[in-house]
Amino acid sequence: MKLGCIGDDFTGSSDLANTLAKGGMRTVQYTGIPSAPAHKDVEAGVIALKSRSIDPKDAISQSLAALDWLLAQGCTQIFFKYCSTFDSTRDGNIGPVADALADALNAHKVIVCPAFPGTGRSLYQGHLFVKDQLLSESGMQNHPLTPMTDPDIRRWLSHQSKYDVGHVAALSVFQGASAISSALETQHTLSKRHIVVDAIRDEDLIEIGKAAKDLPLITGGSGVALGLPANFGCTASRVPWVGQAGKAIALSGSCSIATRAQVAQHATHSPTREIIAADVIEGRLTPQDMADWLLAQDGLPLAFSSADPDAVKAIQERFGREASATALEAFFAELARICVENGVTRVITAGGETSGAVVEGLSLTTLEIGPEIDPGVPALRARENLVVALKSGNFGAEDFFEKADRVLAGDA
C-alpha cells in the first residue's frame, strides 16, 4: 500500500476513494480498522471511521489506531479526510486529530484544504464558499450536529488546534506547484504547522497535490486527492463495474438544502414516505413498520427524515440533540438490516450520519469502489449480492436517487 487515508465519516471516505480510483489507484475502503493485512495489490487504503462528532479523545484514539495499521501496510503518505464543508464545531475534532497525526508523523507544513470546486466548494483568502455563498450562509449554519457559523477556516481551525495556523493565498496557488511549495516553506519558517491553502479551480487542486508529493501528512476534502495518484505513478482510468439486479430502496436522514430538494423531486414520481422523528423516539413507528412499507412498493421507494431547520430544532429542544440523533441512527441501521435480510440488493443513502448507521447496521467491512454517480459519490459493492451508494448531504444533482439506482443496477 502506498497512500493511507483516514476518513472521519463513511460518505466522505467513499468520496475520497472515488477520487483516488478515478485517478488510477487500486483503492479499497475499509469500515473501521481492519483486523488483517491489506491485499498486496491495494495501492490506496481508505479507513472510514465514524469520528466526526464523537468525543475528541475518542476521535484521536481511533485515528491513531488507523494510522498504525496504515503504516504497517507500508504507506509512505497519510491523508486525513474531512468534509468539504469542514463540518466541525469550535470544539470539534478536526484540529485535535490533525494535531495528533502531525505529532505521530513528525509532520510540518501540513496542508489544510477542504475545497472541491467540482462540487461547489472553493477556498479563497482562507474563507470557504459553497457555490457563491459563504459557508456560514449556505445552510450549513443550520446543521443539526456541526453548525458552521464562521467561513474563515484559519480562524475556525485556530479554535481547535494547539498549533499556529498559516495560509497560502490564491495568488501563490495560481503560479503552480513550485510556488505553492515555496509558500508552504515560508509559512513553516513562521512556525505555522497547519497551513490553509486556497483553491478555487480543480486545476489548483492538481498543483497542490504536486506540491504535497513529499509531505508525510495532508488534510482536507477529497478534492486535494485529485493530484495525488500521479505522485505515485498512476494515471486516470475507467473504474470497472458489474451492475446488481434486484430490489432497491433509498434512505435519507440528511437535512441539507440539496438533499431536501432531491427528496422533493423524487416524491413527484416515486413512492416516498416521511419518518417523523417524534414517532420514532416515542415508539409509534418501528423499523419493521417502515421496512414493510418499503418492501411492498414498486420502483425506488424512499424513506426520509430530512426536515427543515426549524423542525429539526424543535425535535432537538423536545428530546435533546444527542438522544434524537441516536434514535434516528439506530432506526435507520435496523431498517436497512431488515430490508437487506428480506431481499433488498441496492441501498442508496443520503447523509453522513445516516450512511454511517446503515453501514454499521449491515456490518459492512470492505467496499469495492465502482463508477462515479455524481461528483464525489461512487457506486460501492459491499457483497456479492449487495451494492450501495453513500451520499454526503450536500452532494448530488436533484435527480440523484434515480440516477444512483441506474448506476448501481448497471443501466447507466
Residues 24 and 113 in one domain: yes
Report the relative pairing of strands 110-113 and 217-220 from DSSP bridges: parallel
Most distant pair of Cα atoms in the chain: their distance: 64
Instruction: Indicate if the pLDDT at residue 201 is higher than 90.
Output: yes
Residues 281 and 351 in one domain: yes
pTM of structure? 0.81
Query: pLDDT-derived band of residue 136, with 50, 70 and 90 as boundaries?
Result: confident
Residues 294 and 151 in one domain: no
For residue 367, being part of any structural domain is answered with yes
C-alpha cell at 257: 438544502
Contact 128, 151 (CB under 8 A): yes
List the domain range (segments joined by +) for residue 157: 3-232
Residues 35 and 174 in one domain: yes
Supply the pLDDT for residue 255: 84
Instruction: Indicate if the pLDDT at residue 148 is higher than 90.
Output: no
Lowest-confidence region among 67-76, 177-186, 250-259: 250-259
How deeply is 205 buried, as exposed, middle or buried, from its count of CB atoms within 10 A (0-12, 13-18, 19+)?
A: buried
Q: What are phi and psi of 260, to 5 degrees?
A: -60, -35
End-to-end CA distance of the chain: 31
Contact 329, 278 (CB under 8 A): no
- What span, in angstroms and rounded, lies between the C-alpha atoms of 295 and 239? 31
Residues 147 and 253 in one domain: no
For residue 240, being part of any structural domain is answered with no
Supply the pLDDT for residue 144: 66
Supply the pLDDT for residue 240: 82
Average confidence (pLDDT) over 52-69: 95
For residue 239, being part of any structural domain is answered with no
pLDDT digits 0-9 by tens, 381-405: 999 999 999 998 888 999 999 999 9
Average confidence (pLDDT) over 327-347: 97
pLDDT digits 0-9 by tens, 339-357: 999 999 999 999 988 998 9
DSSP per-residue letters across 231-244: GGT----PPP----
Residues 303 and 166 in one domain: no
Q: Using alpha carbons, list the distances in angstroms from residue 200 to 19, 97, 111, 356.
A: 18, 26, 15, 30
Residues 173 and 30 in one domain: yes
The total of structural domains in the chain comes to: 2
Supply the pLDDT for residue 220: 95
Instruction: Indicate if the pLDDT at residue 29 is higher than 90.
Output: yes
Average pLDDT of the chain, as a whole number:
93
Query: Where residue 263 sits, what CATH number does that domain have?
Result: 3.40.980.20
Supply the pLDDT for residue 306: 78
Query: pLDDT-derived band of residue 74, with 50, 70 and 90 as boundaries?
Result: very high
Lowest-confidence region among 56-70, 168-182, 319-333: 319-333
Supply the pLDDT for residue 180: 98
pLDDT digits 0-9 by tens, 248-263: 999 999 888 899 999 9
